[in-house]
Amino acid sequence: MLRFLQENGWVIARITGSHHHMRKDGATVIVAIHGKQEIPKGTQAAILKKAGLR
């Protein structure tokens, strides 16, 4: 997910624990990464929607 967002112009603004704050054009998307666990499909959809990629 992080790589996909970065390929679409999002940059990591900061990391707080497992929460990666991605920023682009003043908008912020927070992606929680917990080891090698997959991000649930509903959460993936919400992140992409907020990022304007869906």
3-state secondary structure 3-52: HHHHHCCCEEEEEECCEEEEEECCEEEEEECCCCCCCCHHHHHHHHHHCC
Q: Report, as ranges of residue numbers, the positions in the chain whose pLDDT lies below 70.
A: none
Would residue 48 be called left, alpha or beta, if left means φ above 0 and alpha means ψ between -120 and 50 degrees?
alpha
CATH number of 2-50: 3.30.920.30
* Whole-number Cα distances in Å, 1 to 25, 26, 40: 19, 20, 11
Is the CA virtual torsion 45, 43, 30, 5 positive or negative? negative
The pTM assigned to this predicted structure is 0.86
Which pLDDT score is estimated for 18?
Answer: 96
Percentage of the chain beyond pLDDT 90 is: 96
Which pLDDT score is estimated for 7?
Answer: 97
Which pLDDT score is estimated for 1?
Answer: 93
Which pLDDT score is estimated for 27?
Answer: 96
